[in-house]
């Protein structure tokens, strides 16, 4: 195994650790979906973007719910 392979494997391990930590935090936070919905509602009130853009943003934000 080359140094490059070892480095890649180390990065992959760290990425998995980070992903697991984020997933654990998400599952612990009971207010997550409520906060995401509040953000989506506020984005809908924004001006300065077209309706299609706002609708796309709110769909994207709401897909973050668990």
- Percent pLDDT > 70 in the chain is 98
User: What is the pLDDT, as a whole number, of residue 46?
Assistant: 92
User: What is the pLDDT, as a whole number, of residue 55?
Assistant: 94
Task: Quickly state the pLDDT bin for 20 (edges 50, 70, 90).
Answer: confident
Q: Please report, for the chain, how many H helices and E strands are present, in that order.
A: 3, 0
Residue 30 pLDDT exceeds 80: no
Which carries the bigger pLDDT value, residue 9 or residue 30? 9
Cα–Cα distance, 32 to 39 (Å, whole number):
11
Crossing angle between the packed helical segments 51-62 and 32-44, to the nearest 10 degrees: 180
How does the average pLDDT of the chain come out, rounded? 88
């Amino acid at each position: 195994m080359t140094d490059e392979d070892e480095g890649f494997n180390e990065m992959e391990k760290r990425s998995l650790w980070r992903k697991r930590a984020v997933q654990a935090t998400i599952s612990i936070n009971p207010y997550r979906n409520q906060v995401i919905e509040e953000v989506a509602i506020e984005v809908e009130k924004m001006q300065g973007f077209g309706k299609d853009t706002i609708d796309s943003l709110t769909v994207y934000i709401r897909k973050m719910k668990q």
